[in-house]
Amino acid sequence: MDLNDTPEQAAYRQEARAWLEEHKAQAPPRSGSYEDPSYIDARRAWQGRLAEAGLAGVTWPREVGGRGLGPIEQVTVNQEISRAEVPGILDVIGIGMLGPCLIAHGSEEHKSRYLGPMLHGDEVWCQLFSEPAAGSDLAAIQTRAGPNEDGSWTLNGQKVWTTNAHFASFGLLLARSDPDVPKHKGLTMFIVPMDAPGVTVRGLRQISGEAEFNEVFFDDVRLEPDAVVGGVGNGWGTALTVLMFERLTIGFGSENFGSPARLAQTVAADATARVDSEVRRRLGHVITELLAVRFNGYRALTALARGQIPGPEAGLAKVTMVNAAITATDLGADIVGPDALEPSSEWSYLISFLPGLKSAGGTEQILRNTIGERVLGLPSEPRMDKGVPFSELRAKEKEALV
């Protein structure tokens, strides 16, 4: 479904549609292995072409190579790319989340050095935030950046679930730069070259068979003074910018996961399923959910287009979208039957991929907590970490247990 375009937006949609029509024959396949360097190279090149056509970095300012348009045009491009059945950009994390953070908090040197190659797919980026004991509680990270006398830093620690680290050129990394202040205060954001001595990337194989994310280890990695983004000790604020863009990127990129049209086509194509009253009941239920998510998304879009930031209630859209997409996939797979489990089937990929989205970009429980506290005004969870230096937290937690 198209948005209710203004004449300018309709012209932009037409431009995007015409370009995609003309060039789609040269696009690589929509799916392929992220462990296959030739597929990654083809996707990088395609991203470069989208960028040259003004269909990547749509909301980035013009002065850094973007198109300088709004979130509605970004959704328009996503819809047109999906309509043309071609792949979108490869570096969704870089262009959707990390680039906007560099635009907001990076120095002029950072912007001129990194944004162009990121936009064109020449240098892919990864997000080095989560750790084995710091996911939902991100501010508990322990990767340590120790300052050296010459202004450089030495990095030691481990990250996990790092999507695309195996072909990334750079990572944006949150590290603890001062353990003697409360945990949200002693953090700093750094740019890390993934080929720096002391960086080790190890793939983690998922149930889908792919190894899209990784563990990353840092052993005495030296970072230059200009690796700091957003100021020493300001890492939490800088990370919040990334997390805000992460919610938007997952939200706006989500339409394809639970396509009501594809589900309806699957039902219609099956003579038994289309007359089965239970299938029709489930179909009606899930399509209602998916449409509600879509219109809720348009409400968030309207807020953004007016220069407002969507509130904590936006988290509910992610929870509903992921659950509706899982229910839709279950129904599709029930209709297709055992063939849905063929490795080449898109249903088999969705069945194994979608549950991970419950955790990615904020887990369902954490988002429900946020809604409870910040939208419904319920009492907040007890917190033991307020005002306590990070280095004393373990002792404090043990005290609370006796």
Q: What is 152-193 written as a DSSP string?
A: -EEEEEEEEEEETGGG-SEEEEEEES-TTSBTTTSEEEEEEE
Among 142, 320, 363, 370, binds ligand FAD (CB under 6 A): 363
d(CA 23, CA 12): 17
Does residue 162 belong to the site contacting ligand FAD (CB under 6 A)? yes
Q: Give me the 98-137 binding string for ligand FAD, x by CB under 6 A, dash otherwise.
A: ----------------------------xx-xx----xx-
Only one residue has tokens 């043309």, namely 84
Specify whether the backbone of 211 is left (phi greater than 0), alpha (psi in -120 to 50) or beta. Answer: beta
User: Which residue, 143 or 327, has its beta carbon nearer to ligand FAD?
Assistant: 143
Whether 321 and 257 have beta carbons less than 8 Å apart is answered as: yes
Q: CA 129, CA 133: separation in Å to the nearest integer?
A: 11
Count each helix (H run) and each strand (E run) in the chain, helices first: 13, 8
Alpha helices in 207-313 (DSSP H): 235-252, 260-268, 277-305
Read off the tokens for 197.
Answer: 């001595």
Query: Smaller CB distance to ligand FAD: residue 171 or 260?
Result: 171
Judged by CB under 6 A, does residue 356 bind ligand FAD?
Answer: yes
**208 Cβ contact list (under 8 Å, min separation 6):** 349, 352, 353
The window from 160-168, 248-256, 270-278, 320-328 that contacts ligand FAD (CB under 6 A) reads 160-168
Q: Which is nearer to ligand FAD, 112 or 380 (CB)?
A: 380
Q: Is 389 helix (H, G, I), strand (E, B) or coil?
A: strand
Closest CB 228 distance from ligand FAD, rounded Å: 19
**Site membership for ligand FAD, residue 370 (CB under 6 A):** no
* 265 versus 365: smaller Cβ distance to ligand FAD: 365
Choices 27-35, 94-102, 140-148, 364-372; region in contact with ligand FAD by CB under 6 A: 364-372
Show the site string, 303-332: x = touches ligand FAD by CB under 6 A, - = not: ------------------------------
- Answer yes or no whether residue 366 interacts with ligand FAD by CB under 6 A: yes
**Catalytic site positions:** 246
Site for ligand FAD contains 161 (CB under 6 A): yes
| Residues of this chain that bind ligand FAD (CB under 6 A) | 126-127, 129-130, 135-136, 161-163, 213, 356, 359-360, 363, 365-366, 369, 381
